[in-house]
Amino acid sequence: MSHTSLTTTPVDAQGAGGGGALPRGRRFGAETVFRGAATAAGSMVLVIIVAIAIFLIVKAIPSLRADHESFFTYQQWFADSSPAKFGIAAIAFGTVLTSALALLMAVPVALGIALCLTHYAHRRVASVLGFFVDLLAAVPSVVFGLWGRDYFYRPVSDFAKWLHDNFGWIPLFGSNGPYGRSILLGSIVLAIMVLPIVTSLSREVFLQTPTQNEEAALALGATKWEMIRTAVLPYGRPGIIAAVMLGLGRALGETIALALTLGAVYNVSFDLLGPGGNTIAANIALKFGEANPTGRSALIASGLVLFAITLVVNMTARAIVYRRREFTGGAA
């Protein structure tokens, strides 16, 4: 590994110590070794990402050969039986649906908190409140899952019952109980979990709004809200988009909280209230314990799909952030 990375060091930069060129005789001394080690360590990141793709593909192929149904359109998961039949249609759909719902709930609240921390709360209060938001990020996902399953399901099922009684004519809320583990519960828990990420990223973006823009808006007689709408939000738009996409990446990959709060049902359904829902990640955690070699390989295949999706989402988000950074010259 280190060999490949060593060769990629720029040749002209070799031996160029910070304090001018090293003496000729010591070209291959400690400086070269240290630089090589640093380059190798940096390249490790690239190596790992490529290795993830390679090893997942290698281990996924046997099950894809053994699959008697179409991997992309079949909804059920009988990977351990023979003949093996499994497909990611239902779990991929569930992954996208829960993540989308979670973001729908989390993003407005997160933007509100970010604005509160940057433009509304007193500076000292804001630092304390920001600390609480960071604490939210520090709570392990298994704790959120346990809390959602043992405690939070009660208010949510009351809410689900109310939704069904009053808005049952909307197909989304058509299910008539029992209101326990459902897509609604899972996505609310997920929303709470992506909240801190979206908040902290958009807070940084809002802090970067040039003071001149804000003061110009206020000087023209804008109210505080008008100032935010005309100066802060437009300036931060690319950053907000990136923050939302990074939140999406986190939501797509969340495992344990969803394994504990979703109904683990394999179907494509928009019914939010009834027992239902499953995601790629949660399915891996739930099925791994009893999986035989084919089943394990099938789970790796589904993980490969998840990896590809999150990689695309994250790369897009980071590309937006990077372009913006070049544009503004600040550290986004």
Partner 1 sequence: MSAEVVSHAVGARSSLKTRRLPKWTPAGVAGAAVVIALLAVYLPGAGGPVLTGIAAALIFLIGLTVLSAAVENGRAARNRLATSLVYAAFVLALAPLLSVAYTLLVKGSDRMSLYFLQVSMNNVSAFDNEGGAYHAIIGTLEQAGIATLITVPLGVLGAIYIVEYGRGRLSMLIRFFVDVMTGIPSIVAGLFILAFWVLIVSPYFNNGRPQYSGFAAALALSVLMLPTVVRSTEEMLRLVPGALREGAYALGIPKWRTILRIVLPTAAPGIVTGVMLAVARACGETAPVILVAFGNPAINFNPFSGGQESLSLFVYDQAGAASKYAPGRAWAAALTLVVLVLALTVAAKLLARRNKLGR
Q: Is 152 in the site for partner 1 (CB under 8 A)?
A: yes
Residue 275 sits at φ, ψ, to 5 deg, of -65, 120
Minimum distance between the CB of residue 275 and partner 1, rounded to whole angstroms?
17
Q: Is 78 helix (H, G, I), strand (E, B) or coil?
A: strand
Sign of CA dihedral 27, 33, 34, 38: positive
Quick check: 285 binds partner 1 (CB under 8 A)?
Answer: yes
Q: Scanning residues 67 to 106, which ones bind partner 1 (CB under 8 A)?
A: none
Q: What is the dihedral of CA 277, 310, 196, 157, to 10 degrees?
A: 0
Mark the segment that binds partner 1 (CB under 8 A) among 86-94, 202-210, 264-272, 315-323: 315-323
Residue matched to tokens 């009053």: 166
Q: Do residues 194 and 98 lie in contact, with contact meaning Cβ atoms separated by under 8 Å? A: no
For partner 1, which is the closer residue by CB, 141 or 269? 141
Which CB sits closer to partner 1, 40 or 172?
40
The answer for residues whose C-beta is within 8 angstroms of residue 325's C-beta and 6 or more apart is: 331, 332
Which CB, 204 or 269, lies closer to partner 1?
Answer: 204
Q: Would you state the structure tokens that stand for residue 102, as one six-digit string?
A: 């979670």
Q: Say which amino acid occupies 269.
A: S
Total binding residues toward partner 1, as defined by CB under 8 A:
106
Q: Does 65 bind partner 1 (CB under 8 A)?
A: no
Could you say which of 89, 91, 185, 260 contacts partner 1 (CB under 8 A)? 260
- Binding residue for partner 1, selected from 2, 6, 43, 168, defined by CB under 8 A: 43
β-partners of residue 77 are 86
Instruction: Give residues 222-241 in contact with partner 1 (rule: CB under 8 A).
Output: 222-226, 228, 230
Tell which one of 74, 87, 92, 145 touches partner 1 (CB under 8 A). Answer: 145
132 scored as a contact of partner 1 (CB under 8 A): yes
